[in-house]
């Protein structure tokens, strides 16, 4: 895991536009500090959306694992059949 960039809140206040411009071209996060302690994390909207997408996938996987453990869910064959129908533009 990459160590995030760190910026003091004073530097952020002085040139927020430059900080945000740098974030637009970055996939990482920027940790804002005050008196040497982390107080906030800033990231680009693209990085945020990717992070939320990844979090949703993990949530769905966890739900699937619970369904499997409980003996619920769908067979692989039925899932593949439904996926094929969706890809072909038909209804399942």
Average pLDDT over residues 18-47: 89
Give the per-residue pLDDT at 91: 53
Instruction: Judge contact between 5 and 30, C-beta under 8 A.
Output: yes
Tokens of 48: 């945020």
How far apart CA 61 and CA 30 sit, in angstroms, is: 29
Mean pLDDT of the chain: 86
**This prediction's pTM:** 0.62
Tokens of 90: 């038909």
How far apart CA 48 and CA 90 sit, in angstroms, is: 33
Give the per-residue pLDDT at 38: 95
């Amino acid at each position: 895991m990459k160590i995030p960039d760190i910026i003091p809140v004073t530097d952020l206040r002085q040139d927020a536009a430059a900080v945000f411009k740098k974030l637009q071209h970055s996939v990482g996060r920027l940790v804002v500090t005050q008196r040497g302690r982390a107080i906030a994390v800033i990231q680009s909207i693209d990085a945020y959306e990717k992070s939320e997408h990844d979090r949703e996938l993990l949530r769905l996987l966890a739900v699937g694992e619970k369904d499997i453990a409980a003996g619920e869910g769908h067979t692989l064959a039925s899932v593949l059949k439904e996926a094929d129908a969706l890809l072909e533009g038909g209804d399942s």
